[in-house]
Structures are given as structure tokens and as C-alpha cells.
Amino acid sequence: MKSIDNQFFQTHLQGVDVSLDSQILDTYGRDWTHLREPAPSAVLFPRDTDQVQQIVHQAREHGFAIVPSGGRTGLSGGAVAADGEWVVSLEKMRTMGEVNITESCVDVEAGVVTATIQQAAGHSGLFYGVDFASAGSSQIGGNIATNAGGIRVLRYGLTRDQILGLTAVTGTGELLALNQGLIKNATGYDLRHLLIGSEGTLAIITGATLKLWPKPPLRDVLLLGLPDHQAVMPLFASASHSFKLSAFEFFSQACVEHVCTHAGLQPPLDQPASYYALLELDQVDEPLMLDWFEQAMDSGWIEDGVISQSHEQSQQLWAYRERISESIAPRKPYKNDIAVRVGSVPALLEQLDELVKQHYPDFEVLWYGHIGDGNLHLNVLKPDTMALDTFKSQCEQVNELVFAAVQNHLGSISAEHGVGLLKQPWLNFSRSAAEIELMRCIKRQFDPDGILNPGKLLSG
Ligand SMILES: Cc1cc2nc3c(=O)[nH]c(=O)nc-3n(C[C@H](O)[C@H](O)[C@H](O)COP(=O)(O)OP(=O)(O)OC[C@H]3O[C@@H](n4cnc5c(N)ncnc54)[C@H](O)[C@@H]3O)c2cc1C
């Protein structure tokens, strides 16, 4: 690792806030994965795009790699700095424009926290469509860099679908202003979409123009107990034909037990079910809802269920799904975030269930996910007595089998968390050799010296 001191930054990056404090290096060098020890050489906090450009120029000139850093809630190690990099945190770039009511959009700097955008949209009578459990900490720059999904993709799409414009600084320090809020723009390659989901490997995102939606109508939330996972797809098909769904989530009884223990909640139903589906939908008349509920019971898709009667109850029901990640975090879960076409979910679930029983007989395995868009999270919990490295290498061996099953269904090894460091060795299960080579060519154009997030997404 190259040595670096305050004098260097005072000489070359005057005016940029820099920290070399060991605790700060440790904090900003990791994300939620905690599977690699951090070792950055500095943490830099630019206050504007001009400072971001200066940082890139200096990193390039002095041969330092950069790890762009948002809220560090990432689940694939994308924001981990373990090799003397400069962490560039966007957290001091938090300016947000007035909500533009005429065009239903808002301009934000990259460091604005996702929940702040949701709140600002709400105060103006509009709605920001992306939401997930880490929205209180994640930043819009990180959401764009990972093309974050979350709980309402069914209705509003991914982060990609919210981006009307983007500003970003490439690995040569060039500032790009892409699409500039336009709805129509047929002038060739849309570089905005190349940067969305690029995981900090092509450019540092400095700001965005975000699409906002009309305020949603009142909504019902249903928490339903399912006898087995075979019931989930017929239930989804029936619900999506009967209602205007905004979310259809899935989780196992083991998840409910962890949440109840962690958050001190009572079980949601009188009798535990094997699996649960959580549905959010535009409110419908009670008789219509009860009819559907009875039909679902008669079909054997559900055993029991509750329907929210107020906003507070909706939030209480959502807690069983939204608090899963935090409740299992102390067990250092090994996470798989896979996706297939919705129609292939039952077959994949069947196959993975067998694989899990065969290869993880001693591990606790949890299923949950945004199953309405084909996205499953398979979480394996580390036994307390097992060393982290042993656990990780056992999970990585099983990855080959899990990803081969996903590949057979033409699915994705990373639905929404990104590839980062953790999924990088398996990228070829989802992308052809030709695609990966094209991705490398694109990377060379944006970042000829390979200083932006090296080793993430593409191997070094
Ligand atoms: C409890 C919990 C629940 C979650 N639920 C979901 C979910 O439902 N759906 C979902 O999609 N994700 C989910 N996540 C994952 C995570 O919150 C998202 O990936 C989020 O988008 C990361 O944002 P961040 O600001 O924390 O980014 P970070 O973790 O800081 O960074 C993520 C990646 O983006 C890059 N990056 C960050 N900022 C920039 C920038 N300005 N320019 C260029 N690159 C940048 C980093 O280098 C890294 O590669 C969850 C995480 C947790 C902890």
C-alpha cells in the first residue's frame, strides 16, 4: 500500500475534507457485508462536483484507486475498500432542489439519503417510487450505482425507471450531464443507462433528476399464511389479476421467528404457517376482498391471513418483512440475491430447496424476497461456532450449484444488490463471454487507468 499523509492532500487537494483517522478509515472502508477487512488509505468528502473532478485528476496522476461510497448499505461488497484506495464519500453533497410540480421531478445531489427524497416528494403531494428497508441510510448515488429495486418494483419499476437525468465524473475527470431531465431524447446511445447499475466502475455519480409519481391512493396490506411454497405462484397470479398490486413479498416462518425475537413482536397469525405472502394493493371494497380471500382459502393457497384496518396496522404488517435483514445481520448471513422470470420461480424454488437440504444440512437457511418480480433472497446463517472464513468458503462452493440452477432458468445471479466483490467470480453464470468483453471495453473508455472501483463487478 502506498503511504500518504495530510501534507499530500494539503498540497494537491486544498479545500477537500480528508480523513486519515483509523476509525474513520475502518468505518468508511466497509459496507453491510462485513466479509472483508477494510484498509483504505484515505477518506475524502467532496462538497461539489468540481472537487470530485479534482480528486479524480489527483488519483489518476498519483496512481490511487477510488471507491465511490454512498450510505454503505450495499450487500455485495461494492463499497468495500480493502487495498489502500481512496474512499470518496458523497455524504457532503446533499443539496436538493425544490420539487418541480409541473414536471413531477426533483434535482438531487448524489449524497441525498433515499428517505429524504421520499419525504420531500410526500410533502409536495407526490411520491418517490423506490423503497426498501435501508432507505433511511442509503444514498441516491448508491441506489443509482446499484440500480436498486426494493418492495414496489411491481408498480414503479427499478431505480433505473426513476432517472430522468444524471451528472457524473468519469475516470478521466470528465463531467457528463446526461439526458438533463428530458422525457424524449432520441439522439443515440443513452449513456445514462450505462451508468445506472455500473457500481462505481465507470464514473462517480454526482447528481440526478428523479421522476416523481402521483400520490398513491389508500392501500390495503394483507399478510397471508401459505401451506407450502408451491402455493405462492397461483396466489400471485390470482392477486395480480384481481387487484392493483404495488407489492407481493414472500418469506418463510424462520424469518418471522427471527423478526419476532429481534424486534419483540408477536407472531402475525394464531398458527404459524410454513411461508407467508405480504400483499400491498390499492384499497378495494370489503366484500370483494372477502370473496377473494375465501376463494384463496378454498383453493388451498392460504391457510389464514390478516388484512390491515389502518395505516398503523399496515406498517405493523410490513415490519415482518422489512425487519428480516436487520434481525439476521448479527448472524453474518451469506446472501444470495437471484432472479428468474416469474413463471420459472416455482421450478427454481423446488430445485434450490433440494440443493439446500443436501448441501446445507447443518446450516440455518432463510428464504425471502420480492417474489412478484421473480427475485429471491437465499440467506444462509453462520453457525456461532464456525470461523467466518470456513463458513464463507463452504457457501462459495454451494454457489456454483445455486448459480448453475439459476443459469438453467436463464436467470440472474444478482437481481438487485449488484455484483461487487462477492458475486464477481460468478458473473459468467449470467453474462456471456462476449458481453463481459464488451463491458471491459466500455470500462476502458470511461476509466482508461482502471482507477474506479477496481476488482468490483469485473475481475482486475
Ligand atoms: C436492511 C437492508 C435492506 C436492503 N434491501 C434492499 C432492497 O430491497 N432492494 C435493493 O435493491 N437493495 C437493498 N439493500 C441493499 C442496499 O441498500 C442497496 O444496494 C443500496 O442501493 C445501496 O446504496 P448505498 O448508498 O448504501 O450504496 P453503497 O453501499 O455505499 O455503495 C453501493 C455501490 O455503489 C457505488 N456507489 C455508491 N455511491 C456512488 C456514487 N455516488 N457514484 C458511483 N458509485 C457509487 C459503490 O462504490 C458500490 O459499488 C438492502 C440493504 C440493507 C442493509
pLDDT tens by residue, 202-248: 999 999 999 999 999 999 999 999 999 999 999 999 999 999 999 99
Domain 219-325 identical in fold to domain 332-426:
yes
pLDDT at 378 (0 to 100): 93
**DSSP designation for 139:** B
| Atom from ligand 1 closest to the CA of residue 456 | 49
Q: Could you tell me what percent of the chain has a pLDDT over 90?
A: 91
Q: Which of ligand 1's atoms lies nearest the C-alpha of 73?
A: 26
What architecture (CATH level 2) is domain 105-214? 2-Layer Sandwich (3.30)
Atom 2 of ligand 1, nearest CA residue: 134
Most ligand 1 atoms within 8 A of CB, residue of 134, 162, 178, 412 to mutate:
134
Distance 119 CA to ligand 1 centre (A): 19
CA-closest residue to ligand 1 atom 20 = 143
The preferred substitution site among 138, 147, 326 for testing ligand 1, maximizing ligand atoms within 8 Å of CB, is 138
Mean pLDDT of 391-406: 92
Question: Between the CA of residue 182 and those of 169, 179, 212, 214, 447, what are the distances in Å?
Answer: 20, 6, 14, 19, 27
Would you state the pLDDT for residue 2? 66
The structure's pTM equals 0.96
Q: What is the pLDDT of residue 357?
A: 87
Calculate how far, in angstroms, residue 457's C-alpha sits from the geometric centre of ligand 1: 14
Average pLDDT in the chain: 95
- 310 to 259, 393, 426: CA distances (angstroms): 22, 46, 45
pLDDT in tens, 274-327: 999 999 999 999 999 999 999 999 999 999 999 999 999 999 999 999 999 999
Compare 438 and 460 and report the one with higher pLDDT: 438
Among protein residues, the one whose CA lies closest to atom 17 of ligand 1: 73
Query: How does 372-402 read in b/e, with b if 16+ C-beta sit within 10 Å?
Result: bbbbbbbbbbbeeeeeeeebbebbeebbeeb
Q: Which atom of ligand 1 is found nearest the CA of 141? A: 41
Ligand 1 atom nearest the C-alpha of 457 is 49
Fold (CATH) for 219-325? Alpha-Beta Plaits (3.30.70)
Q: What is the DSSP string of 319-365?
A: HHHHTHHHHHGGG--EEEEEE--GGGHHHHHHHHHHHHHHH-TTSEE
Closest CA to 264 of 330, 323, 308: 323
Residue 51 has pLDDT above 90, yes or no: yes
Residues 358-364: contacts with CB within 8 Å, 24+ apart?
Answer: 359/397, 359/398, 359/401, 360/398, 364/254, 364/331
**Which of 27, 45, 128, 132 has most ligand 1 atoms within 8 Å of its beta carbon, as the pocket-test mutant?**
132
Ligand 1 geometric centre to CA of 385 (Å): 30
Report the nearest-CA residue for atom 44 of ligand 1: 200
CATH of region 332-426 = 3.30.70.2740
Domain boundaries, given as residue ranges, for the chain: 6-92, 105-214, 219-325, 332-426
* Tens digit of each residue's pLDDT (9 = 90 or more) over 89-99: 999 999 999 99
For residue 54, pLDDT over 90 is answered with yes
In CATH terms, 6-92 corresponds, of 3.30.43.10, 3.40.710.10, 3.40.50.620, 3.50.50.60, to 3.30.43.10
Nearest to 205 by CA among 139, 272, 113: 139
How many angstroms does the Cα of residue 248 sit away from the middle of ligand 1? 22
- Residue 5 has a pLDDT of 87
d(CA 382, CA 129): 34
**Residue 388's pLDDT band (cuts 50, 70, 90):** confident
Work out the pLDDT band at 1, boundaries 50, 70, 90: low
- Decide which of 362 and 116 is more confident: 116
Measured between alpha carbons, how far is 114 from 137 in angstroms, rounded to an integer?
A: 7
Q: How far apart are CA 41 and CA 35, in angstroms?
A: 19
Residues written for the chain: 460
Ligand 1 centroid distance, CA of 106 (Å): 20
Q: Is the CB of 153 under 6 A from ligand 1?
A: no
